[in-house]
């Protein structure tokens, strides 16, 4: 008895199932940048993202404004989501929507405006279990979901 040939739709479903199995057990980490301008903060974040162990983490990048040459620095296996806004303050609704769609385990941001933007949209995210790591000029701030911002 021969097996029946697979149709395109069957192959597509098998590919999706393989992708789901490959990502199971890995933490989805979303990195958020305002632009891809060649600054130090952007390079640090992209270098960190590219260096993550793919057996443990599944990185993705959200960029509010696709201006700048650093898009070539992003590893080819990292999905890039371009929101098409020019300012953080005008991109918060789209950022919230994209974070809800991706449902990351960890959100990593850098630069004060972007850090504040992520903190502003967090109450509107459906998945309440994210950790947020914000890199500032002189410190790294990490808040776990179990920590109260008021210290209680």
pTM over 0.95: no
CATH code for the part of the protein at 26-143: 3.40.50.2000
Dump pLDDT digits (tens) for 96-120: 999 999 999 999 998 888 889 999 9
Where along the chain do its domains lie?
26-143
Dump pLDDT digits (tens) for 41-55: 889 899 999 999 999
Task: For 2-152, list the strands marked E by DSSP.
Answer: 27-35, 57-65, 80-82, 106-110, 131-135, 140-143
């Amino acid at each position: 008895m021969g097996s029946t040939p697979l149709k395109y739709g069957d192959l597509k479903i098998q590919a999706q199932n393989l992708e789901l199995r490959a990502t199971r057990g890995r933490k989805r980490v979303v990195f958020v940048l305002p632009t891809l301008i060649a600054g130090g903060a952007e390079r640090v974040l992209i270098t960190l993202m590219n260096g993550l162990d793919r057996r443990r983490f599944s990185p993705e990048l959200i960029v509010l404004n696709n201006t700048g040459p650093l898009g070539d620095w992003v590893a080819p296996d990292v999905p890039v989501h371009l929101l098409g806004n020019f300012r953080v303050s005008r991109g918060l609704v789209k950022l919230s929507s994209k974070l809800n769609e991706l449902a990351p385990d960890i959100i990593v941001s850098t630069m004060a405006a972007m850090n504040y933007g992520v903190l502003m949209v967090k109450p509107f995210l459906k998945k309440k279990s994210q950790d947020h790591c914000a890199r500032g000029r002189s410190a790294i701030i990490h808040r776990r979901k179990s920590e109260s911002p008021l210290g209680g």
